[in-house]
Amino acid sequence: MTDVRTLCAQGSPCWVSLMAHDLDTAGEFYGALLGWEFKGGPTGLGPYVRATLNGAPVAGLGVAPPGFPVEWTTYFAADSTDGTAQRIRECGGTVAVGPVQAEDAGRLVIASDVAGAVFGVWEGQEHLGWQAVDVPGAPSWTELVTPDLDGAASFYGSVFGQVVERRGPDAVLIVGGSVVAGIRGATELRGGPPRWRVYFAVADVEESVQRTLELGGRLLVEPADSPYGRFARLLDREGGRFSLVERGN
C-alpha cells in the first residue's frame, strides 16, 4: 500500500466527506455498495464517522446542517490551513468555515473557489487522510466541473502551489510530477452548480449500478467508456451525487 504521507502531499486531494441528512441511511447505503465499515471520528463539529475499507480509512460521513443539500466534499492536503485560508481570500475565493481544530485529527477549512465550487482544506495531525485509493471501494479520482476553467486553473494553482496543465478542453492538477485531479469545462454542468465530482473505484460498473438501484439510489448517466475507464454517475438515497469508475487493466 502506498504510504499515506505520499498520498496526502501538499496540494493533493487527501479526503472526501459526505454531508448527509441521515447518518444511518448514508452508512447503510455506502457500506452495502462499496464494502465500507465505520468507526467513530471527531464529533466536535457534529456527528461524524470514518469509513474504512479493509481497515484503511477512505472517506468520512457527517450530518449536514438543516437546509443544506447532501453533497460530497473533496479536501486538499495543506501544510498550513492558516496560510492556505489567507491565499484563498487573496485569490478571490471565500472561506466559510475555519481554520478550526477537529480534535486531535487535524485542522480544517471549508471554502469555495471563484465560481462557487465548495472544497475543503485539511492539515493532518493524528489523521493525515485516506490510506487506500484506486482499488475497488476506495476513492479513485476527483474532478472539478466549472463554467470558468481558466479561472479555476489559476485559483487552485495559486492557492496550493500546484502545476496546472491544459489537456485539450480540460486541465489537470499536478503535484510532485503526478496528476492528482482534473478540471472540466462548463459543458459538463448541464444547468447544475460548479462542484467537485468524486469517483469511487469498482470492479464492475454495470454490477455496481444495479446494486445502487437495488439500494434505493438513482442513475444519472448510463455507464460509458472514457480514456480513464468505464464510468457512471449516480445519486444515493438522499440525492447525494457520486460517480463510479471501473479502471482498465
Identify the CATH number of the domain in which residue 107 sits.
Answer: 3.10.180.10
> Structural domain tally of the chain?
2
How far is 132 from 29, CA to CA, in rounded Å? 20
**187 DSSP 8-state letter:** G
Quick check: is 130 in a domain? no
Each of the 249 residues of the chain gets a pLDDT tens digit; together they read: 344 455 688 899 999 999 999 999 999 999 999 999 999 887 777 889 999 999 999 999 999 888 889 999 999 999 999 999 999 999 999 999 989 998 888 899 999 999 999 999 999 888 889 999 999 999 999 999 999 899 999 999 999 988 999 888 889 999 988 899 999 987 655 556 899 999 999 999 999 999 999 999 999 999 998 877 899 999 999 999 999 999 765
Range of the domain at 176: 139-246
Last residue of a domain, one of 70, 91, 124: 124
Exposure pattern of 37-64 as b/e (b: 16+ CB <10 Å)?
ebeebbeebeebbbbbbeebbbbbbbbb
Q: Which amino acid appears at position 101 of this protein?
A: Q
How far is 103 from 49, CA to CA, in rounded Å? 14
Name the pTM for this structure.
0.93
How far is 78 from 159, CA to CA, in rounded Å? 10
Residues 12 and 110 in one domain: yes
Last residue of a domain, one of 124, 147, 181: 124
pLDDT of 181: 94
The number of CA neighbours under 13 Å toward the Cβ of 161 is 10
How far is 46 from 171, CA to CA, in rounded Å? 35
